[in-house]
Chains A and B, each alone.
Chain A
Amino acid sequence: MIFICTNYNCNDGQVFINNEKMGSKIFFYLCFILFLLSAFCISCSNANKFSLGSDFVESQTNMVLTDTFRVDLSTVLLDSLLTSATGVALVGNYKDNEFGKITCTNYFEVGLPSYSEISEKAIYDSCTFFLSYSGYSYGDTTALMSVSIHQLKENITLNSNGSLYNVSKFEYAKDAIGSKLFYPNPTSSDSILRIHVNEYGDTLFTLFKNKDNNVSSSDLFLDYIKGFVLTSGNENNNAVLGFDADSSHTYFKIYYHVTDETVKNYVISIKLSSDTRQFNNIQHDFAKSRLAAIDSLANHRILSQQSDGRCYMQAGIGLLPKIQFPTLQDLFLKNRWKLLKADLIIVPVKDSYDRFILPGNLYLYDTDKHNDINGYLSDRSGNPVKGTFVLDKLYNENTSYTFDITPFISNELADNYFNYDHGIFVGVVQKKLYTTIDRLEIEGKAPRVKLKLYYVTY
């Protein structure tokens, strides 16, 4: 045994004979607990808010903002837009110098009503066509408005893929079975518009009363009655109105009475029957507007340079602003950079929203060379990108829509080639694209549409 005696470490061997197992155990456990505590406290540090030392850091990275990449604007008129089975009827017309004239006509079918046998003594009273305001309107709703109802001359037939479009049309009788001149009340969605069709109602009543062959089955009835169309009764209406187009809101009512000991009143309801064969025909006439040339241009596309720098969006007719980025390829000339964020900023033409409210929600659609709509542009989590809308009510200076299109740009840049043909349409949400004629006029010159790119250099 080696015996080393350092300072006060003079072990004499006796020490180890002491039986202190209990104390040893306690100490051992104490150490073990301390050790565990420290293990769970791997780094007890609260450095999150720390800002001292900012003079010590040397940046390896820089964030850069550039908005000098060119943005090409044009306006595209789609060939057609699906407008059937939407439950919305659009009726009326409106005209101004910006978008020309727009005319909306609604087509629908009715079904054979169920009714009890009509007594010989029954006497026809009247017939009324009922419409319910949907709450949607476009244009000047304070002006006197006219709506007419006509009977179709041919049955509504769906095209091969089972739908109907804004450009679909069917022949109808020139003479209206009824029309109404009124001051619209569109803001209250439970209010009802009544059009008296007494003469036509009498004809129908007679059929029912006489158990005519034409009202003996649904098919024969449909062949006989074809359907109806709601038209803008007057060429010079100043508004387009929206109505609910479904069986519980769109119907004729034939009133008659039978006099026995007392007078008994009866009603026959002829309701809108087919949701799928209900559609809106929406026609445009761009004559005298900046878009006049669009119908004759290739792909129905007019460059913003040909339309005073502006571009146009109108739902219902498929008029969509197209945005393309011709110079983004130049980004690849830079070295050591990564895209962080891409914001697209769109400003409406300054005086374009005095009468028309700007759409609160704007969305972007992915499009290509053929101007097909390939779905919404989506954000990182796959949700449609919605513009952040700022309305500057006071000065009209800062009204804008800002879209975060980072995934679109970074996906397009990913293969080191930026495809110019891969563009963006600006529009309202898909449902509104089919059921409204909302509009937007985008400024292209001052201020121009900007692509703000944030990237990091290192």
Chain B
Amino acid sequence: MFNKLKNNVLLLIIVFCTIETAHSQLTSSPYSIFGMGTQAGNCAGTSSALGGTGIAFLSGTTLNTVNPASYGGLDSLQTLFDIGLFAKYTSYRTKSSNQALFDANLKYFTMSFRSVPRVGTSFGIVPYSSVGYKINTTSNIEGSNSEFNKTFEGDGGVNKVYLGNSYELSNNLFLGVNASFLFGSINRTEASSDGLYSYKDKNTFSNFYLDYGLNYKIKGNKWDYSIGIIYGNGKTLRTNSESSITTASSFEELKTQKKEFRIPRNLGVGLAVSEKSFRAGIDYEREYWSEINFNQSLMRTRNSTRYSLGLEYASFGNSRSNNNIIFYRFGAEYSESYLIIDQNPISYRSISFGTGLPVGGRLNVINISFEIGQNGTKNDGLIKENFYKLNIDISLKDLWFMKRLFL
């Protein structure tokens, strides 16, 4: 009875999470005004506790979405449901002022399982980039000495619904492919604060996208060594632009210039070492954004680079059963983002600590991590963001496939 109800409710959660993730605002950052917005990075599963590290890690008790080849590490008996939430406090500093914002939202939802022998499958919805800003300014009224208050607002972003499979090509060599559908919209509004007019610009994107990953593990006596590679060929998104202007007495759809949005090529390499209760990995990833021009006068693009490091320790406690494992994680990330604003490259750094606690038996795990970091610079009137972020990732497990096998 309870199981039936639980399955129905789970299905409901899946549907809701998918819809909600697609609509959730993940960012409140003035920098998200540029380009495709703020990149979500590797935020699914435990990677947020590991500084986004994961190219060479295989999925295990939790899903690793960084490399599609990692699905090959999934346990054969379980179906994993992963839901991620975050709460973030950010203080924004310029040389002269200081403001702060608080955000909280759902991040992603994934499900993964082993579908057939030698094949690990995962699907879900994860964010790719997001836009969220509201900037209040004043602007001169042409032909007068007075000013009016103007508000710039942006929201939306690009999400990724993916279905990925990892094949074990030969012993310990996994090839993974994610087939994704990228979709989303970025809405920008420019309005007089007293509501006299608003100018809206909506860009809707969609396209299919493939990205690939390899993972190879060399087993040693005590230590295992892994190498992972990820690659995506980039893609031009199908874009639909709509603009409109609204005043108290009129509304008009405007003709817009066709804009082009593209996902850049990316290439990443990761190395990992692991033994029974410990693993460590490093990632290097590059995205070739310099080929993409957003036609925003204040910004240029460059190729972005991510360096990250992740450590994980598993404490088995007294029992050797997986039920009581407690994980301790540490991560660090340094990213040179694709943005160069007013000649200032924008980079991101963070460190994170996390723990994974078994809850309620049946291998359910709640992963909690805390991330401290900063983004941007105070030079040339730009903004430095210092943030504190709490990630809660819930990994629910069900034994759908086990039942079939055992009963």
| Chains A and B form a bound pair | yes
Closest 5 CB pairs of A and B: A27-B360, A53-B30, A20-B361, A2-B76, A47-B134
Question: Which of these, B74, B85, B146, B399, contacts A4 with CB under 8 Å?
Answer: B74
- Segment 1-40 of A: residues with Cβ below 8 Å from B: 1-4, 6-12, 14-16, 18, 20-21, 23-28, 30-32, 34-35, 38-39
Q: Which residue of B lies closest to A9 (CB)?
A: B60
Pair B101/A50 contact, Cβ less than 8 Å: yes
- For residue A53, give the distance in angstroms from its CB to the closest CB of chain B: 3
- For residue A38, give the distance in angstroms from its CB to the closest CB of chain B: 5
- For residue A192, give the distance in angstroms from its CB to the closest CB of chain B: 52
- For residue B79, give the distance in angstroms from its CB to the closest CB of chain A: 13
Question: Which of these, A26, A46, A56, A458, contacts B341 with CB under 8 Å?
Answer: A56
- Segment 97-149 of A: residues with Cβ below 8 Å from B: none
Pair B143/A35 contact, Cβ less than 8 Å: no
- Segment 11-55 of B: residues with Cβ below 8 Å from A: 13, 16-17, 20, 23-25, 28, 30-31, 33-34
Instruction: Choose the segment among B261-269, B320-328, B347-355 that binds chain A (4+ C-beta atoms closer than 8 Å).
Output: B320-328
Known contacts: A9-B60, A57-B135. The answer to whether A458 contacts B245 by CB under 8 A is: yes
Bound state CA distance, A56 and B60, in angstroms? 43
Instruction: Choose the segment among A254-262, A324-332, A337-345, A351-359 that binds chain B (4+ C-beta atoms closer than 8 Å).
Output: A337-345
By a CB distance below 8 angstroms, the chain A residues around B85 are 34, 38
Indicate whether A160 reaches chain B with its CB closer than 8 angstroms: no
Pair A21/B2 contact, Cβ less than 8 Å: yes
Pair B143/A52 contact, Cβ less than 8 Å: no
25 examples of A-B residue contacts, CB within 8 angstroms: A1-B76, A2-B114, A6-B59, A9-B60, A9-B61, A15-B323, A23-B359, A30-B359, A44-B105, A45-B25, A45-B101, A48-B134, A50-B133, A51-B137, A52-B383, A56-B30, A56-B34, A56-B135, A57-B33, A57-B190, A62-B142, A338-B252, A339-B249, A340-B196, A340-B248
Of A23, A57, A59, which is in contact with the most chain B CB atoms at under 10 Å from its CB? A57
Chain B contact-residue range equals 35 or more
Pair B6/A16 contact, Cβ less than 8 Å: no
Q: Which residue of A lies closest to B394 (CB)?
A: A31
- For residue B26, give the distance in angstroms from its CB to the closest CB of chain A: 9
What is the total of A-B residue contacts with beta carbons within 8 Å?
Answer: 248
Known contacts: A20-B361, A20-B362, A44-B102. The answer to whether A8 contacts B135 by CB under 8 A is: no
Q: Which residue of B lies closest to A44 (CB)?
A: B104
Question: Which of these, B17, B274, B316, B325, contacts A35 with CB under 8 Å?
Answer: B17
Known contacts: A57-B33, A58-B296, A338-B197. The answer to whether A50 contacts B359 by CB under 8 A is: no
By a CB distance below 8 angstroms, the chain B residues around A53 are 30-31, 33, 92, 133, 135, 152, 383
- Segment 125-178 of B: residues with Cβ below 8 Å from A: 132-137, 139, 141-144, 146, 148, 150, 152
Question: Which of these, B117, B298, B314, contacts A58 with CB under 8 Å?
Answer: B298
9 new A-B contacts at CB < 8 Å, known A53-B30, A58-B297: A2-B114, A7-B224, A9-B75, A25-B2, A51-B136, A51-B137, A54-B136, A338-B197, A406-B249
- Segment 235-290 of B: residues with Cβ below 8 Å from A: 245, 247-250, 252, 254, 274, 276-277, 279
Majority SS of interface residues in chain B? Answer: mixed
- For residue B97, give the distance in angstroms from its CB to the closest CB of chain A: 7
By a CB distance below 8 angstroms, the chain B residues around A63 are 139, 141-142, 148, 192, 196
- For residue B27, give the distance in angstroms from its CB to the closest CB of chain A: 9
Bound state CA distance, A63 and B33, in angstroms? 22
Pair B102/A46 contact, Cβ less than 8 Å: yes
Pair A45/B17 contact, Cβ less than 8 Å: no
Known contacts: A1-B76, A45-B28. The answer to whether A60 contacts B196 by CB under 8 A is: no
Name B's A-contacting residues (CB within 8 A): 2, 6, 9, 13, 16-17, 20, 23-25, 28, 30-31, 33-34, 58-61, 72-77, 83, 85, 87, 92, 94, 97, 99, 101-106, 114, 117-118, 132-137, 139, 141-144, 146, 148, 150, 152, 190, 192, 196-197, 199, 201, 224, 245, 247-250, 252, 254, 274, 276-277, 279, 296-298, 314, 316, 321-323, 325, 341-342, 359-364, 381-383, 392, 394, 396, 399, 402, 405-406
By a CB distance below 8 angstroms, the chain A residues around B74 are 4
Indicate whether A380 reaches chain B with its CB closer than 8 angstroms: yes
Pair A380/B28 contact, Cβ less than 8 Å: no
By a CB distance below 8 angstroms, the chain B residues around A10 are 322
Pair B152/A6 contact, Cβ less than 8 Å: no
Known contacts: A48-B134, A407-B249. The answer to whether A8 contacts B325 by CB under 8 A is: yes
Indicate whether A298 reaches chain B with its CB closer than 8 angstroms: no
